[in-house]
Amino acid sequence: MEYRDEVYFHSKPESEIPFSAEEFKNRLSRIRKAMAKAGIDMLYLMAPESMYYVSGYQAEWYQAQSPRQWPASSAIAVHVDHDHYILFDSEREAILGRIFTASTDTRLFPRNSQRDGAAFTVEQLKEAGWLRGTVGMEFWSYRPNRMISQRTEALFQAAGAKVVDGTDVLRQVRWIKSPDEVTCLREAARIANIGMAAAKAHLRRGVTELEIYGEMVRAMAAAGGENPGITMPVLSGTKTNALHGLATRRKVQQGDVVLVDLSGVFKRYHINMARTFSMGEPSRDVIEVTSKAATAMAYIRSLLRPNLPVGEFNRAIMAHLVEAGLWERRGWVGGYEMGIAFPPDWVGNFVFDPLSDLNADRLFEPGTAVNFEHQFFLPRHIGQYFTIDSFLFTESQARGLSAEPFDLMVIE
């Protein structure tokens, strides 16, 4: 036996499984019930968020843009009639699987396959009898890419399975968070507030956007925070009119508007928040807009309650912004689900905004969490006022999770 085999197959690293066996058992039960309702016999999961939700699997590399010789192949198969899942992976990740998952059935690709385990996986699933029906794949996930997804689908079909889009099964299950998940969201909020306070404390004229970014990352890491799914924007000056820009070596200047948008992360659960700062006292017309916007955010918090109808919330937001004279200055007003996320995104599946009927018939049920974004263009094109709060709904209450004031914060 080669020494690497001894390490791969006999090393016993310290376990870092993120949740209890009972939590994972309950998740699997919910998934199987949803599969039965959707008419799916086997769910084939390759999205990092899905693999994590089922097993705790997490890695720093998912072969998303890898060479053709190293295609994304690791996956988890869940069958509607079985109370365990099968984890398929490269032997190079055997140790990783023992650290982060409680998998009782891990099957490693043959060594000569490199990382291309698709044919092996299908053969194993066929022998197990898991391909005698309808297979759901995650067609709306970036992983795997188009070529690998089509090839895997063809292999399933050749083995006798009917293949359908099963993306929404797990996404809908993840909408309602368990008590353990709610605990993670609260901790992510604590970390996010630490990050925002650090950004505020280090914001001054002459520092670069990257320096502010580095300070908030350091503060959140020291508080136990993890790498977020999106590279967090720190933007200054008229650059704030492009909210999805990146922090650069640009130095913050007197008179700048500065935006900080971040997520605290705990056990991969994200809570998002953003605030706007002014380098020096802003002009009167800027104060007029931002004061109204801050008042609107406070009003919106007052609307929160468990089982709040999304449509009712949207209508109240729009009416208030129209009355305040802010509606015509809006960039985007709305929000999306917060929860498990891996790079390159933290935007959840559930989206709402006042101009769309999408999800308007739904409720903000206990166990759900969303962010809410306010974006308003300031006078003379100087930038945007940008604020994000995140809301957590439980059986007994609904509340915003960000701590810093909503007002435009002046840095002297």
Range 176-411 classified under CATH 1.10.1370.30: no
| Residue ranges covered by each domain of the chain | 3-174, 176-411
List, for residues 64-123, the tens digit of each pLDDT value.
998 999 999 999 999 999 999 999 999 999 999 999 999 999 999 998 887 899 999 999
First to last CA, the chain: 67
- Phi, psi of 401, rounded to the nearest 5 degrees: -110, -5
Q: pTM for the complete prediction?
A: 0.97
- What average pLDDT does this structure show over 184-196? 98
- What average pLDDT does this structure show over 178-206? 98
- What average pLDDT does this structure show over 273-289? 98
Q: Please give the Cα distance from 41 to 236 (Å, whole number).
A: 51
Look at residue 4 in the predicted model and tell me its pLDDT. 85
Q: What is the mean pLDDT of the chain?
A: 97
Look at residue 5 in the predicted model and tell me its pLDDT. 86
C-alpha dihedral, 382 to 372 to 140 to 132, nearest 10°: 170
Residue of 302, 306, 373, 299 whose CA lies nearest to 336: 373
Band (pLDDT 50/70/90 cuts) for residue 292 is very high
* Better-predicted residue by pLDDT, 195 or 12: 195
Domain 3-174: homologous superfamily in CATH: Creatinase/prolidase N-terminal domain (3.40.350.10)
List, for residues 331-346, the tens digit of each pLDDT value.
999 999 999 999 999 9
Q: Please give the Cα distance from 382 to 395 (Å, whole number).
A: 43
pLDDT surpasses 80 at 149: yes
Look at residue 115 in the predicted model and tell me its pLDDT. 84
Print burial letters for 215-227: b (CB count within 10 Å at least 16), e (below 16). bbbebbeebebbe
Share of the chain above pLDDT 90, in %: 95
Look at residue 240 in the predicted model and tell me its pLDDT. 98
Band (pLDDT 50/70/90 cuts) for residue 1 is low
143 is written with which tokens? 């992983």
